[in-house]
Amino acid sequence: MDEESLHERLYGKKPEEVKYGEPCPLCGSRIDEFGMCACDSE
Ligand SMILES: [Zn+2]
């Protein structure tokens, strides 16, 4: 089973369909459940 299929089984949707909230206004990446983005940690 590939990673995408595993994720779909776990969460009932594909990775790109899982949304944690607003995308980061700086880089466009999804912000995680803590409201943090990797680009903001420097
Ligand atoms: Zn960012």
Give domain limits for the chain.
Answer: 3-40
pLDDT at residue number 40: 61
List, as ranges, residues with CB under 5 A of the ion ligand 1. Answer: 24, 26-27, 37, 39
Q: Which of 6, 27, 26 is nearest to 18 (CA)?
A: 6
Distance 1 CA to ligand 1 centre (A): 31
* Residue 2 phi, psi (nearest 5): -80, 170
Give the separation between CA 26 and CA 42, rounded to whole angstroms: 13
Distance 29 CA to ligand 1 centre (A): 6
Distance 16 CA to ligand 1 centre (A): 17
Give the separation between CA 19 and CA 31, rounded to whole angstroms: 8
Q: What is the pTM of this model?
A: 0.36
Distance 32 CA to ligand 1 centre (A): 10
- Per-residue pLDDT tens over the stretch 1-42: 777 777 678 767 665 665 556 788 888 887 777 777 878 655
